[in-house]
Every structure is written in C-alpha cells, then in structure tokens.
C-alpha cells in the first residue's frame, strides 16, 4: 500500500492510484480476507485455510457436521470461525433443496452475519447496493431460521457487496481446457478498491496450496509493468483473452458499468467475429491502428495451452525479466515469451497473423 492511495474518480468511484513510480513486479498489496466461504458443502480442502487435503490420516472433522467441516490440522480447527451456530446453519442448509447459486449466496450470508462487528462494518463500507428481489426475499427467510439477519434491506445490500467485491480462490490449473473450478470466495476490503481495465497494469496471484495456513488465502497484487506516478491501478475482473462482447456483457450484468478503456474503444469498431480471429493484414500502420494493444498479448498473456493467464515479473530484487503466470504458475523469461509468440505467429496460415481469442 506504500505506493498507492485511494482516490475518488468521476464515473468510476473509489480507485487505487499510484502515489509514487512503481517498478514492474512490485507487490502493491498483500491482504488477508475478512470473510471467506466455500463454493461447496462437500469439499476436499481444509474448511479454515482452504488448502487441499492430501493425507487422510491428518484430516480432522467437526464432530457435528462430520464430513462438511474438515481441517488439515488442529491449529486450523481451533482458529476456525466454524462456531456451533455456523455449523448448525450449514448443516441445515445441506438438507435444503435449492439451486447451487442460491446455496452459494446462502453460505455467503451466513458467513457475513457471523462476522465480528468490525469486519461487518468493513464489509458494509464496500460498494454495492441492490433492490429487493424475490431471490433476496427467499434467501432472507431461509437464513432467518439459521441466524438472525436484521432486515431484508441489509440482506439485499450484503448480497450486492458479495457480487461486486468477492474474489474467487481458484483450484489449481489443470490445462485440460475445462472451465477452472472455484474453491471458495473471499472478501478483501482493500483489494475491493481495484477498478477494472481490459488491459490491466496489475494482476492478482494466489497461492492457496502453498502450505502456509497463516497466509495462503492472502491476495497478492503485483504490477505487470512499470507504472508512473498518478496512474489508476486496475485489475482485469476476468481472463484478459475474453472478447469484447463477453467483456461488456459481464461488466454490465455483474458490475453495472460500460467499459470504455483504451482496448474497448478500439474493439468496439471491430466487425463481428474480428475479436475471435483478429486478422492483421495490410500495412504496419493499419495493423497498429487495428490492434494497438497487440504488445500486451505478446508480452503479458501466457501462451501455454488453455491458460491465457497474465504474466507479471517476479517481485524485486528478483530478476525483472522472469515472468510468472498467475493462472498456470509457469515461469518464463520475457525473451522466451516473445520467442514463443513469434513462433506461433509464423505457424499461422498464409501469412495472416491470427491472435487466438
Ligand atoms: C470492486 S468495486 C471497485 C471499487 C469501487 N470503484 C468503489 O468505489 O468501491 C467494482 C465497482 O467499481 C466500479 N468500476 C470498476 N471498474 C470500473 C471502470 N473501469 N469504469 C467504471 N466503473 C468501474 C463499478 O461500479 C464496479 O461495480
């Protein structure tokens, strides 16, 4: 946080802005979650630290909800917020036949209503407010039997805060092309101030299976490249290889805004299908105009099959030309990344350069 401050930006709300020049790879934020909830009731990871459970002889289970709260160690069991109230609520929820979407929102609400007063205040200070919908009414009455939510309006506001601010803790990359699974969701009060850009200058790393239960669910945000003083620091809220239509749809539906970043300003003029197979023929000048952000994809998007994660240099003082991918975890030098991209380009058909979506 030393090199960033929070500023109000017209039309964008609060946002991080660099207060000093930032070097590529620098860690901009490291923060523990105030709230974390599982994406499933039947899990194969520790209910406290979210680390994958490997050795069954060390697994400890909650005596009440047996295989629904599992711990990798007694330390995790004693530090857990799995109070009798929470345990009974989750147990009751297990027997309620509702959609997985509603179940997820119910987990969040139960975790939120079990927060300490300070953490609850922090959660309430985040952006997000929502009208009361039939789903809100249903969820409010559902969780009323487990905990004591104060009002329907508060439940609606909490759900909106979750939707706008929660970060997914991803299962490790498998590389099989199937959608990556989310192990849990976490709220980081400072991390919530990052606005979105489709060409972000920072990206988030998580190391959930790193084996250090005191910090493995921390969010770590690093600069992708050098950032001068006074620049807004943004993440991408989804993988950077999404096409224009999908990005705009997600941002409008889930975050309530139309993106007018530099990349969207260019891509709005592309014809249908251009962004699925961006063709760059013609003169260099035309190419630059059509796809001025090509450099970003060459340098900062991982080209490992089915990955498309974002690459950021290792934090100083480590060598700044070694890039780490925030999805598959591979390391490569900038030179290797550029060479691999050049080979992909040469192999594409008839001299037409095809940038994969
Ligand atoms: C996680 S919050 C980010 C912090 C937020 N600006 C605040 O004031 O607390 C996400 C919300 O920020 C706003 N936002 C994020 N990126 C934006 C962008 N590029 N343009 C306009 N609004 C943006 C949207 O309202 C979005 O729902």
pLDDT of residue 285: 54
The distance from CA 241 to its chain's CA centroid, rounded to whole angstroms, is 15
pLDDT of residue 345: 62
In a domain, 264, yes or no: yes
- Whether residues 151 and 194 share a domain: the answer is no
- Where is the domain boundary, 108, 137, 169? 169
> How many angstroms does the Cα of residue 253 sit away from the middle of ligand 1?
13
- Whether residues 216 and 267 share a domain: the answer is yes
pLDDT in tens, 248-266: 999 999 999 999 999 999 9
Residue that wins the pLDDT comparison between 317 and 11: 11
In a domain, 214, yes or no: yes
pLDDT of residue 90: 75
In a domain, 181, yes or no: no
| pTM flag (> 0.90) | no
- The DSSP-derived string for 253-321 is HHH------HHHHHHTTSPTTTTTEEEE-S-HHHHHHH-TTHHHHHHHB--STTT--BEEEPPTTS-TT
> How many angstroms does the Cα of residue 14 sit away from the middle of ligand 1?
7
> How many angstroms does the Cα of residue 37 sit away from the middle of ligand 1?
23
- Whether residues 256 and 310 share a domain: the answer is yes
CA dist 258 and 322 (Å) reads 35
> How many angstroms does the Cα of residue 164 sit away from the middle of ligand 1?
8
- Whether residues 211 and 339 share a domain: the answer is yes
User: Which runs of consecutive H residues, i.e. helices, occur in the chain?
Assistant: 74-79, 84-94, 100-113, 117-125, 134-144, 152-165, 244-255, 262-267, 284-290, 294-300, 334-347
In a domain, 3, yes or no: no
Q: Quick one: DSSP state of residue 194?
A: P
- The DSSP-derived string for 169-189 is EEPPP--SSSPPPEEEEEE-T
State how beta strands 219-223 and 202-205 pair: antiparallel
- Whether residues 165 and 196 share a domain: the answer is no
- Whether residues 53 and 91 share a domain: the answer is yes
Backbone angles phi, psi at 14, to 5 degrees: -75, 145
ipTM passes above 0.90:
yes
Residue 193 Cα: closest atom of ligand 1: 4
At 193, list the tokens. 């101030």
pLDDT of residue 349: 47
> How many angstroms does the Cα of residue 232 sit away from the middle of ligand 1?
12
Maximum alpha-carbon separation in the chain: 70
At 330, list the tokens. 């591979």
- Where is the domain boundary, 169, 202, 226? 169
- Whether residues 200 and 69 share a domain: the answer is no
- Whether residues 39 and 147 share a domain: the answer is yes
Query: Domain limits at 248?
Result: 188-356
Ligand 1 binding pocket (C-beta < 6 A) is 11-15, 127, 164-165, 192-193, 195-197, 255-257, 259
CATH code, domain with 235: 2.170.270
pLDDT in tens, 8-57: 999 999 999 999 999 999 999 999 999 999 887 667 888 888 988 887 76
In a domain, 24, yes or no: no
Which of the listed residues 13, 191, 219, 238 should we mutate to test ligand 1's pocket, taking the one with most ligand atoms within 8 A of CB? 13
Quote the number of domains for the chain.
Answer: 2
In a domain, 232, yes or no: yes
The residue with tokens 């959930």 is 208
Least confident of 104-113, 190-199, 205-214: 205-214
DSSP reduced 3-state for 200: coil
Mean pLDDT, residues 161-171 = 95
């Amino acid at each position: 946080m030393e090199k960033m401050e929070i500023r109000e930006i017209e039309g964008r709300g609060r946002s991080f802005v660099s207060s000093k020049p930032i070097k590529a790879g620098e860690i901009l934020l490291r923060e523990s979650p105030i709230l974390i909830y599982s994406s499933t009731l039947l899990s194969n990871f520790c209910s406290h630290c979210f680390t994958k459970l490997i050795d069954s002889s060390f697994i400890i289970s909650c005596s009440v909800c047996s295989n629904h709260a599992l711990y990798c160690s007694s330390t995790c069991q004693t530090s857990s917020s799995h109070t009798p109230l929470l345990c009974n609520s989750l147990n009751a929820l297990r027997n309620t036949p509702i959609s997985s979407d509603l179940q997820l929102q119910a987990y969040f609400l139960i975790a939120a209503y079990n927060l300490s007063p300070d953490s609850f205040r922090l959660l309430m200070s985040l952006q997000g407010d929502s009208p009361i919908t039939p789903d809100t009414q249903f969820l409010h009455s559902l969780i009323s039997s487990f905990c004591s939510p104060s009002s329907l309006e508060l439940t609606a506001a909490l759900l909106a805060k979750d939707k706008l601010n929660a970060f997914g803790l991803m299962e490790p990359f498998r590389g099989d092309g199937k959608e990556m699974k989310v192990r849990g969701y976490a709220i980081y009060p400072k991390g919530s101030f990052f606005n979105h850009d489709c060409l972000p200058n920072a990206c988030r790393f998580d190391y959930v299976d790193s084996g250090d239960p005191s910090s493995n669910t921390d969010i770590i945000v690093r600069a992708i490249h050098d950032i001068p003083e006074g620049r807004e620091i943004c993440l991408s809220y989804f993988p950077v290889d999404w096409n224009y239509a999908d990005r705009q749809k997600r941002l409008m539906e889930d975050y309530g805004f139309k993106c007018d970043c530099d990349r969207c300003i260019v891509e709005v003029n592309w014809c249908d299908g251009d962004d699925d197979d961006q063709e760059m023929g013609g003169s260099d000048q035309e190419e630059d105009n059509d796809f001025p952000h090509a450099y970003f994809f060459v340098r900062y998007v991982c080209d490992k099959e089915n990955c498309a994660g974002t690459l950021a240099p290792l934090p100083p003082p480590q060598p700044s030309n070694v890039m780490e991918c925030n999805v598959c975890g591979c390391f490569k030098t900038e030179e290797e990344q550029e060479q691999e991209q050049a080979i992909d380009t040469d192999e594409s058909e008839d001299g037409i350069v095809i940038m994969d979506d």
